[in-house]
């Protein structure tokens, strides 16, 4: 089973990407450096839960 999550820019707080992972093999929070269009530079993006409803 895979879980979807947003990748949020730590600098401006925008959700720029959607990722998915297997919670059983990757229980810790996902963090990755990606390009943020709002910051116009590479920033750390952190996993955020997608709120449903």
Residue 23 interacting with Zn ion (CB under 5 A): no
Considering beta carbons, is residue 16 or 52 the nearer one to Zn ion?
A: 16
Q: Is 7 in the site for Zn ion (CB under 5 A)?
A: no
Q: Which of 53, 37, 41, 52 is nearest to 15 (CA)?
A: 37
**Structure tokens that stand for 30 in this block:** 């996902």
CA distances from 5 to 22, 40 (A): 11, 22
Name the 3-class secondary structure at 39: coil
Nearer to Zn ion, 32 or 38 (CB): 38
CB of 5 to Zn ion, least distance (A): 17
Q: Which residues bind Zn ion (CB under 5 A)?
A: 9, 11-12, 36, 38-39, 43
């Amino acid at each position: 089973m895979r879980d979807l999550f947003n990748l949020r820019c730590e600098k401006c707080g925008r959700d720029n990407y959607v990722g998915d992972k297997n919670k059983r093999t990757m229980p810790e929070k996902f963090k990755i450096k990606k390009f943020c269009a709002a910051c116009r530079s590479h920033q750390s993006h952190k996993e955020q839960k997608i709120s449903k409803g």
